[in-house]
Amino acid sequence: MQIQPYLFFDGRCEEALDFYKTALDAEIVTKMRFKDAPAPVDGACDGPPGPPPAADKIMHAAFRVGKTEILASDGMAEGNPEFKGISLALLTPDIATADRYFAALAAGGQVQMPQDKTFFSPRFGMVADRFGISWMIMPEH
């Protein structure tokens, strides 16, 4: 069994994928657009209620950061993503990598807790990136 985060960027998924590819060395595993979906067949779900998202928006994507695969979508692409009550913990191989990723995620975002030594880690910090995703960053050991 496995749990994977599924993030809805509400119209900014392509931008987010490009950002994480650069900021976190993410690998884009899958990217499917709404225009690539087959037409519904009789009895099949026609999708969520309301007008469909633009054809070029991301219906489903997967990207890998280290060993973790994160799923993503534009969802209904209404332009108001909210990520509340959750943080993604990013465990890096060393302090230098933690510093690099923290700086990259903080660009255009908001530092919630500056990186510093704590009783549980030689370096720990919290940042919300430009999309509002909250990250807790620290070395693995």
Question: So what's the pLDDT on residue 81?
Answer: 80
- Sign of the CA dihedral running 3, 100, 9, 61: negative
Percent of the chain with pLDDT over 90: 77
Give dist(CA 102, CA 36) in Å, integer: 35
Distances in whole angstroms, Cα of residue 128 to Cα of each of 37, 47, 104, 112: 32, 31, 11, 7
Q: Name every residue whose Cβ is closer than 8 Å to that of residue 94 and which is 6 or more positions away in sequence.
A: 139
Angle between helices 13-23 and 95-106 (to 10 degrees): 150
Give dist(CA 48, CA 96) in Å, integer: 44
First-to-last alpha carbon distance for the chain, in angstroms, is 26
Segment 43-89, tens digit of pLDDT:
555 555 566 778 899 999 999 999 999 999 998 777 778 889 999 99
Position 42 pLDDT exceeds 90? no
Position 117 pLDDT exceeds 60? yes
- Which strands sit side by side in the sheet containing 68-73, from one edge to the other? 6-8, 68-73, 58-65, 27-33
